[in-house]
Amino acid sequence: MPLVRISLRRGKSAQHIAAIRNSVYRAMVEAFNVPQNDRFILVHQHDAEEFDYDPNYLDVPRTDDLVIIQIACNNTRTIEQKKAFYQRTAELLSKEPGLRSQDVFINLLETGKENWSFGNGVAQYA
């Protein structure tokens, strides 16, 4: 049930964007206990003046290839699962589409299961 929002600078190819979506989804399935077909991913592209970040916060050197991944999800995962997910996402994105691990920023927004409706006006997990 994660809802994924991916933000990046405008100008990447459709193949590059698809590779990001596919790598994030694969990491969720492999390391974050997300079932197959639980795929809800939104991509937001921004012009340079709309995409502001610090290029060295916490001594992590970032470039304009920075990808910010924000995931709303249930508050059911362990710290170990989260760490494994962060690592696996960075690994997969380094392979496809070729991002530097320093340019992968991930934020989780955890919520209770009762806060989701997947359609029909029903709280399927409540």
> Catalytic residues, which ones?
2
Full DSSP string of 45-106: EE-GGG----TTGGG----TT-EEEEEEEES---HHHHHHHHHHHHHHHHHTT---GGGEEE
Amino acid at 85: F
Output the CA–CA distances (angstroms, integers) from residue 95 to 33, 34, 84, 98, in the order listed: 21, 21, 17, 5
- Specify the residue for token string 């639980």: 38
- Which SS3 state, helix, strand or coil, does residue 124 take? coil
